Structure 1
Amino acid sequence: MPKLTFTKRAIDDLPLPLEGKRANYTDTKVPGLELRMTSKGTKTFSCQRWVKATSRAERITLGRYPGMTIEQARRQALQISSAIASGDNPAEARRQLRGEPTFGDLFADFLRKHSVRKKKTWREDEKNYNRHLAPTLGSRKLSSLARKDFAQIHGAISKTAPAHANKVLALCSVMFNWAIDAGVWDGQNPAAGIKKNKVEQRDRFLQHHELPRFFQALAAEPSDTVRDFFLACLLTGARRANVLAMRWDQVDLAEGVWRIPDTKNGDPQLVTLASQLVSVLEDRHTNVSGPWVFPGEGKTGHYAEPRKGWERILARAQALGLVQAIATAEAWDDPDITRAVEIALTQPRQAQRLYADEIRRHGLDPEAYALSKLRIHDLRRTLGSWQARHGASLAIIGKSLNHKSVQATAIYARLDIDPVRDSVTRAVDNLLAAGGISEPGKVVPIKRR
């Protein structure tokens, strides 16, 4: 049987055997490790060792190349050789190998015993596993997994989503740490020590000059649910998931408060409702039936996917920005501006195509007027930034946004709802005034134009 130092290039360059024949090669580095190759090009690793008890050589199939890498085959061949040297027969060694949990088995245990019980984001763990990990690692034995396997997955995701790649890598590392602590796995953590991507901390929020067209684009939204949902996100600073799941039995409109029983950080939160938002919610309460403030048609019963509505609002806001820039550059008359604004609000994509070239002729960049980098979560940050702009302390901001930190927890515990209400009210008054919605202190519900 020919000997060969197994490398990827050497194995890939092996000639095909004659039709109906099979070629066998042995590895020069690990005794007993073999590669069998059929005339159709199928390559399979196996381990052949002499068993003293039976006085004959026994072969144990390991896996197919390239699904099983050379390093993995060598590692398993050494494990089997060690088991046989300890007196186990090949059948027992095979059972031990097959009985070892796969990465998919580990994730199933982790999800059921830890993630679902301890994490509110367990569905995100499940989604990330199914999308990024199951296709390549799900069927692999834990002992076959190496640091480079996780580095490769991290690198592949990093090409398009560096921050998300860090989350997937963190999930893998947490899984192994949990398995080690729970006694499910007694090996090392192959996902540890991999350098994560440097991700810039987001500090995006709606700027003063962006507010008028954002509110104008929001008011033009034909769906009451979409319009009121994003207004609630902005004026409460609450997390998107909490606003989506808002229930009428959690809201006291007379007192202007909303009690969220369960938040991301594990604590209930008392959210103050600005008078402008109370007016909107009172109108919804009159016209919306059922337990949900923002009902939907999905499994949850409430509004669940605001992405398309968000894209419509951003498209209108960009179109309005283009109209404003051209009107200023060309000194349009009011009738021309009115017609252009109507197109921007009702047919924003057409307006973008119509005015983009004209914007460029003036030496301007159409993307400078887009709010495409604005995310739904940035509405939460917008309220906090306006609170800070109008004199709120970090403690007040932390209380109103339900931030949780070791250093500030003691301070938050001493605060009641009144100073929080004052701060939010001032911020909302000035925020709406900057957007051209109302004068400070004046309650004007946002209605569709």
Structure 2
Amino acid sequence: MFEYPSKIKLTKSEIDRLPFSAEKQITIHDLQLQGFAIRIGSASKTFIVYKRTPYGVPKRVTIGRYGHLTVDQARVLAQQELAKIAQGIDPNQVKKEAIEKHKKDAEVESQTLQWLLEEYKQEHLIDEKGGKSGTLTSMKSCMDYMSQRTITLLKKNPNDEWVIDRKIELESWLNRPFRQITREEILERFDYFNRALPTKISKKGLAPIVRTHQVAFTLLNSAYNFIIPRLQLDEKENFRNPVDVLKVYKRWKATNVKTRHVEFQKVEIADWWNAIEKYSEVNPVASAYILFSLLQAGRSIDIANMQWSQVDFELNQVTYFETKNGEDYTFPISKLACEILKKLWEIHLKIDKEAKEYPFVFAYPESETGHIPQDARHHFKQLEELSGKFVSHHDLRRTWGSAAHLMQADGRIINYCLKHKMTDVNVRYLLRNQGAILETLQTVENFFISQVEKFRQIKTTKN
């Protein structure tokens, strides 16, 4: 068995003479440079520095393999490492920090704005909030605003009118590390969109984008607020949300309060109701969807995809699952609302007895989803032509809420019927008090019907 010396003058010839150690690693120190050594294993010979320090554990630093380095090269590197140790520097810690920095730099490069927006969409909007289609559509728009775009800028002329200024190219931010997007860049891009010509030009003339860019940057702001605490960027990197700059420079605009609704105190209610009844001859499903939404004070996201399995004709109830505020609701059905569902059920029985092929209450074969589109904008446009009044689906909720307040219904029941988030401890009693909820729904329904009849008679008398 070969006997390894503990110390020799490390030279090429001496190292070549030393065989590999099949059992355990052997360390042989250099006689010429204290702290310089070679470590012999079963298949390699590696130069190291091994230095005892006055305080702490001995330091061992790997220099490199013999063959990759000559003895002279290794000796020079060893002298450098020994000098660092003498100065109180830990070469291993320096290497570790360099590796961590490299990993961090690679992580930063991989965590692009596209990555951030996708993480926010999946983890927060979909997994936590349920992924409502309207929100996901807004998220797609947000990504479009952050991608490469050519926009036309507007400017004011001496007469204070908007006119075409020039076209500019905005670079895509999606492939950039999200940490590298600066506050100045956020402010500049936002200000460009404040002057940008919208895709659809208003009939009133040239005017900049009003709302969609605000929504896009609001989601961008939310995405940063989402990721900062998760990655502890505020603590570890002293990183701030760059979108905060829009608040500092007061770029956010308050959303205009919408008041549009079906005016039930004027003849307008009769004209609109007549249009609904007439439109039922053209499209019974669409007209039923719109009228049922009004009578149930429902959101489009809850009613458009409603299935027959949610309807209980024995108890005259309908259950809405996973609504916007995350709660399930079981509602009683008022008389006319029940008639609407029963008529649709009769239609369904003729074509689909078990409601398996067409499970949706408001089945719509023309749609990819199989149910009527949530906004039903085309149908509301048709009603506008018949009645002279355009309302959106959300305007129906506003109409119902206004009528309920006029009828002096209990405020908590109104909020419950509108499916507003309620923190009142008495909300649990509302769940059991179906009678009070039905009374409110029926009172508002009766009010609408009475107003329609009233103004129909007035129109008849005038004619």
TM-score by length of 2: 0.59
SS in 2 for 1:204: coil
Amino acid at match of 1:312: Q
CA contact (8 A) 1:162 1:197 kept: no
SS in 2 for 1:139: coil
Distance change >3 Å, CA 423–CA 117, structure 1 → 2 = same
2:125 corresponds to which of 97, 115, 120: 115
Deviation, 1:117, is 0.5
Q: 1:183-230: per-residue Cα shift (whole Å, max 9, x none)?
A: 175422111241310222223321121211111122222111111110
2:378 corresponds to which of 308, 328, 341: 308
1:230 corresponds to which of 267, 290, 313: 290
Deviation, 1:119, is 1.8
Distance change >3 Å, CA 243–CA 93, structure 1 → 2 = closer
CA contact (8 A) 2:277 2:287 kept: yes
Q: What corresponds to 2:22 in structure 1?
A: none
Q: 1:223-276: per-residue Cα shift (whole Å, max 9, x none)?
A: 111111101111110101111011111111232211102100000012222101
Question: Does residue 442 of structure 2 align to residue 432 of structure 1?
Answer: no
Question: Does residue 393 of structure 2 align to residue 380 of structure 1?
Answer: no
Counterparts of 1:34-433 in structure 2, within 5 Å, are 96=106, 99-120=109-130, 121=132, 123-135=136-148, 136-155=172-191, 162-183=210-231, 185=233, 186=237, 187-195=239-247, 196-208=252-264, 209=266, 210-221=268-279, 222-288=282-348, 289=352, 290-297=358-365, 298-305=367-374, 306-318=376-388, 371-372=389-390, 374-406=391-423, 409-415=424-430, 416-433=433-450
CA contact (8 A) 1:155 1:165 kept: no
CA contact (8 A) 2:117 2:143 kept: no
* Cα distance between partner residues in 2 of 1:381 and 1:177: 32
Distance change >3 Å, CA 395–CA 213, structure 1 → 2 = same
Deviation, 1:113, is 2.8
Q: 1:280-324: per-residue Cα shift (whole Å, max 9, x none)?
A: 110110112321101123342211251111111112211xxxxxx
SS in 2 for 1:259: strand
Amino acid at match of 1:428: E
Deviation, 1:430, is 1.1
Deviation, 1:133, is 2.2
* Cα distance between partner residues in 2 of 1:264 and 1:218: 27
Q: 1:112-168: per-residue Cα shift (whole Å, max 9, x none)?
A: 333221123352353223332233321222233122433345445556554443332
* Cα distance between partner residues in 1 of 2:108 and 2:219: 25
What residue ranges of structure 1 are gaps of 5+ in the alignment? Answer: 1-52, 54-86, 319-370, 440-449
When structure 1 is superposed on structure 2, of 209-218 and 409-418 the one drifting more is 409-418
CA contact (8 A) 2:129 2:326 kept: no
* Cα distance between partner residues in 1 of 2:435 and 2:386: 37
Amino acid at match of 1:189: N
SS in 2 for 1:293: coil
SS in 1 for 2:325: coil
Task: Select the structure with the greater relative contact order (CA < 8 A; seq sep ≥ 6).
Answer: 1
Amino acid at match of 2:145: H
Q: 4+ runs of 1 displaced by more than 6 Å?
A: 91-95
SS in 2 for 1:137: coil
Distance change >3 Å, CA 154–CA 380, structure 1 → 2 = farther
* Cα distance between partner residues in 2 of 1:388 and 1:93: 60
Distance change >3 Å, CA 216–CA 150, structure 1 → 2 = farther
CA contact (8 A) 1:157 1:164 kept: no
Q: What corresponds to 1:18 in structure 2?
A: none
Amino acid at match of 1:191: V
SS in 2 for 1:379: helix
Q: What corresponds to 1:361 in structure 2?
A: none
Deviation, 1:395, is 1.0
* Cα distance between partner residues in 1 of 2:230 and 2:190: 25
Distance change >3 Å, CA 97–CA 230, structure 1 → 2 = closer
Distance change >3 Å, CA 204–CA 412, structure 1 → 2 = farther
* Cα distance between partner residues in 2 of 1:145 and 1:429: 57
SS in 1 for 2:244: coil
What residue ranges of structure 2 are gaps of 5+ in the alignment? Answer: 1-76, 78-96, 149-171, 196-207, 353-357, 457-463
SS in 2 for 1:198: coil
* Cα distance between partner residues in 2 of 1:158 and 1:251: 47
Counterparts of 1:25-36 in structure 2, within 5 Å, are none
Identical-pair percentage = 17
Amino acid at match of 1:216: N
CA contact (8 A) 1:400 1:420 kept: yes
Amino acid at match of 2:136: R
Deviation, 1:100, is 4.7
CA contact (8 A) 2:139 2:219 kept: no
SS in 1 for 2:386: helix
SS in 2 for 1:191: helix
CA contact (8 A) 1:432 1:438 kept: no
Amino acid at match of 1:181: P
* Cα distance between partner residues in 1 of 2:407 and 2:221: 42
Q: 1:1-24: per-residue Cα shift (whole Å, max 9, x none)?
A: xxxxxxxxxxxxxxxxxxxxxxxx
Size of the aligned set, in residue pairs, is 300
SS in 2 for 1:199: coil
Distance change >3 Å, CA 245–CA 161, structure 1 → 2 = farther
Amino acid at match of 1:138: L
Deviation, 1:178, is 1.6
Distance change >3 Å, CA 247–CA 100, structure 1 → 2 = closer
User: Considering only CA atoms, is the larger Rg found in Structure 1 or Structure 2?
Assistant: 2
Q: What corresponds to 1:353 in structure 2?
A: none
TM-score by length of 1: 0.60
Q: 1:32-74: per-residue Cα shift (whole Å, max 9, x none)?
A: xxxxxxxxxxxxxxxxxxxxx9xxxxxxxxxxxxxxxxxxxxx
